Amino acid sequence: MEKVRFGIIGCGVIAPHHADAIVNNKRGELVAVCDIEEEKARKFQQKYNAPYYYTDYRKMLERKDIDVVCICTPSGLHGDMTIDAANAGKHVFCEKPLDINADKMTRMIEACRRNNVKLGCVFQRRLMKEAIETKKAIERGEFGKIVLADAYLKYYRSQEYYNSAGWRGTWELDGGGALMNQGVHGIDLLMWLVGDVASVFARAETLARDIEVEDTAIALLKFKNGAIGVIEGTTSVYPPQETRLEIHGQKGSVIFGDSGFKQWRTIGSDVDTFPDVKSEKIGGSADAAAISSWGHYALIDDMISAVIEDRDPMITGESARKAVDLILAIYESARTGKEVFLERFGE
């Protein structure tokens, strides 16, 4: 059996989800891990029985026996590391967000194209069975023309969480707060289901935490298909609420969250007719370390198949950047107090 060999850059909170998915895949092999903290890298190597560990990712990229590099570092480092990996001939599997800078994302995508390597990204909510059934229903017109589409992204992150690592809550390396770090998952899912956004008007505030970035934000969206919508994002509410999407059309509505469908109703029916599906719990609304690994397992398996079959991964760089471009537009609108149009993002 052909095996795809992996290296992991960054041995922090999210890295175990990547490592578990690799070592438990019959077609995957973990060759090396890297972290700037040697003790952390060494312990991670030992835990997952990786043959090698590094403190300099560029040294790891020199290895000929690594096919794919997982980028598990702070968000503001994703771009440069991806470009370096692509220039070293490595495929890249990048944690969300793709990066925190529009120009950097463009250069990441171009570097991977130029070097003929794959670029995949982690947005596991797209794999929720509820999301897949909703997308199918929207595409076949079950709810009619979509008129309203909202995402409610209400997390809890304590001050201790932000203090636990120097990069958290900073513009330079986190790239933002409630939207860029946590809410990006729900924003990606909303756009995957409803389509691209044409313009946004937003407010973003730091209300409860001692951080540089926003802990609370609201955005009014105008989608390219004519629908309008709302994003509410925060890391400051207790108890945290499950991520919830509401999509309303002329013929019907669907509402679902982390615990499943809440509503699925169309004209002519007085009761909800939920598809008989149920996703595994995602978690993470209160504790970043408490997310489930099932999405990483599926996306790592898809990345392995993409390399072996020489095809695009399920979530490409071009697709993954859309949520970040929208968040950057939200931040610009919040700073300027003006509606921001997205034509100039993602070019």
pLDDT of 8-40, one tens digit each? 999 999 999 999 999 999 999 999 999 999 999
223 beta partners: 197
Distance CA 231, CA 276 (A): 28
Specify the domain boundaries for CATH 3.30.360.10 within the chain: 126-279+323-344
- Chain-centroid distance of CA 48 in Å reads 24
Distance CA 298, CA 158 (A): 30
Which stretches of the chain score pLDDT less than 50?
A: 347
Strand order in the sheet with 146-154: 260-266, 252-257, 244-249, 146-154, 228-234, 216-223, 197-205, 340-341
Specify the domain boundaries for CATH 3.40.50.720 within the chain: 4-121+292-314
Task: Tell me which CATH homologous superfamily contains domain 126-279+323-344.
Answer: Dihydrodipicolinate Reductase; domain 2 (3.30.360.10)
Q: How far is CA 154 from CA 151, 185, 215, in A?
A: 10, 12, 10
**Global pTM?**
0.96
- How is domain 4-121+292-314 classified at the CATH fold level? Rossmann fold (3.40.50)
Burial call 118-132: b when 16+ CB within 10 Å, e when fewer: bbbbbbbbbbbbbbe
pLDDT on residue 333: 98
pLDDT on residue 286: 61
- pLDDT tens-digit profile of 131-169? 999 999 999 999 999 999 999 999 999 999 999 999 999
